Amino acid sequence: MQRINPNEDIRALSDFRARVSSYVQQVVETKRSLVITQHGKGVAVLSDVGEFEAMQARLEMLEDIYKAESQINEGRGISHEDAKSIVMKGINN
């Protein structure tokens, strides 16, 4: 996901309402999210669908990594050889 450019990617709700179509086009073209503010505070984010889906996939992978680390720290991990054996059985079936 592209980093937000504060000069271009933060807009007041009133400005967003007046120019919705152009801001949607901006998000699609730049792949950068648009932060929408109300009374000077961020209230919503408009994102490109593909970028959002990629972010969701990365987040799911990170959650799996954190869960695995927690399980290992609790002594619930398995050896590399056991894991390899399980994977190979799944591939060969």
Among 36, 51, 35, residue whose Cα is nearest residue 2? 51
pLDDT surpasses 90 at 3: no
Q: Let me know if residue 23 belongs to a domain.
A: yes
Residue 80 in tokens: 């590399």
DSSP string, 59-87: HHHHHHHHHHHHHHHTT----HHHHHHHH
Residue 68 lies in a domain: no
Tracing tokens 């450019």 back to the chain, one arrives at 5
The answer to whether residues 27 and 18 touch, using CB atoms and an 8 Å cutoff, is no
pLDDT digits (tens, 9 = 90+) for 37-79: 999 999 999 999 999 999 999 999 999 999 999 998 999 888 8
Instruction: For residue 43, tell me if it sits in a domain.
Output: yes
Which residue segment(s) compose the domain that 15 sits in? 10-47
Residue 29 lies in a domain: yes
Residue carrying the six token digits 């179509």: 21
Prediction pTM value: 0.69
Position 41 in a domain? yes
When divided into structural domains, the chain yields a total of 1
Residue 87 lies in a domain: no
User: For the domain that residue 30 is a member of, what is the CATH number?
Assistant: 3.40.1620
